[in-house]
Structure 1
């Protein structure tokens, strides 16, 4: 059993169908030297923005045998399926990364969308952010958030983050990738390749209006705590409590 922080607020969500545009096959990677891109300039401030989290293990951490590599080449989707790894102080565990999003709307409403507490959001009503579900231990598709940019004028800022549980050495053992798929233009990639063995959460990317443009900014700020520490770092001001999620047997 692991624990992390959950937001003590409204938890309603209704089922929705999601669609996002077919982004270009090209990709732009946001880096420390080039951390921002304007969605406004590429005509992508409409439709549903898809934000996907996927991850794979660092092969150097568990042998990386040629046989395993060959199987991954024959089955490329396995690149993004978490493997069983050895925890530092206990037996074999699965890596469980979760995707979440802090939001602030122009009317002052603030909150979080995340699997914990089933705060899955809503795509057609505030906060116009919806989580597709909790991919507990990985799949080829990973976890996905949708942002309804047809309501971009009602969104002040968003902060997409990734968090883990205290018993899983995930950021030290994984290559994680967050990819944004706008309705137009190339997809946008942010890699989480830094080895951070003690970090439990990471602010990955923000979306905010800057001089009338909707700008995507690479953050990649690791913290040792959970969502409440990210909140303090970015000044969201929410009330947090300790939440639990039971792992699969």
Structure 2
């Protein structure tokens, strides 16, 4: 999940919400580096490698939302374009942990405006047992367009989770090169959303 940092957009505007309560459903606007106004659309993605050698990506871009009960055993809840409280969720079917070799959870900015430093993004892991784990993407990398957040690897039947939080200045292809996935990447677009 994410929201714009209120310190970067002129502070909270409580009184206008009392007069116009439906503004809470409108995306907040952030001042970009070019001094134009933009909305930031962060997307959650997962690169996967299965034990049979199958590799791919689950992400909103291109509509690759995955499959929970079949390969790749990872499924996205959908595409949150406005930073709502629920954000985006990736589900991993742990009944098939033996089929999973590794998963790289990452976040990228769809609209190409590098503004990680203007968002308050948090990745929350909900393990099958134990407390939830929150990873804030608070480091200031104003030109970064993608961030590798967590690597999940199957080591002899045990899943290990490693915090990465590595910001890169490119998109998925650069994360792919950094972690040696070897996928072919092309340019993708989302359908237009009326606001």
Match of 1:96 among 15, 25, 41: 41
Shift of 1:212: 4.2
Aligned to 2:95: 150
Aligned to 2:4: 57
Cα displacement string for residues 47-103 of structure 1 (whole angstroms, at most 9, x for unaligned residues): xxxxxxx112222212325x549x7xxx9xx7xx96211222253211100000000
TM-score, scaled relative to structure 2: 0.88
Aligned to 2:109: 164
SS at match of 2:132: strand
Aligned to 1:121: 66
Aligned to 1:174: 119
Cα displacement string for residues 170-222 of structure 1 (whole angstroms, at most 9, x for unaligned residues): 30201110001122210011110011111000000011023542111100000
Contact 1:56 1:82 in 2 (8 A): no
Q: Which has the higher strand share?
A: 1
Runs of 4+ in 1 over 6 A off after TM superposition: none
SS at match of 1:193: coil
Q: Equivalent residues in 2 for 1:1-249 (5 A)?
A: 54-65=1-12, 68=14, 83-89=28-34, 91-165=36-110, 167-210=112-155, 212-245=157-190, 247-248=192-193
Q: C-alpha distance in 2, partners of 1:84/1:247? A: 18
Quote the RMSD (CA, aligned, Å): 2.2
Contact 1:96 1:170 in 2 (8 A): no
Which structure is higher in RCO with an 8 Å CA cutoff and minimum separation 6?
Answer: 1
Is 123-132 or 209-218 further displaced after alignment? 209-218
Contact 2:106 2:149 in 1 (8 A): yes
Taking structure 1 as reference, are residues 82 and 184 closer, same or farther at Cα in structure 2, changes over 3 Å only?
farther
Contact 1:128 1:148 in 2 (8 A): yes
Q: How many matched pairs? A: 188
Q: C-alpha distance in 1, partners of 2:110/2:60? A: 13
Q: C-alpha distance in 2, partners of 1:198/1:204? A: 17
Unaligned ranges ≥5, structure 2 = none
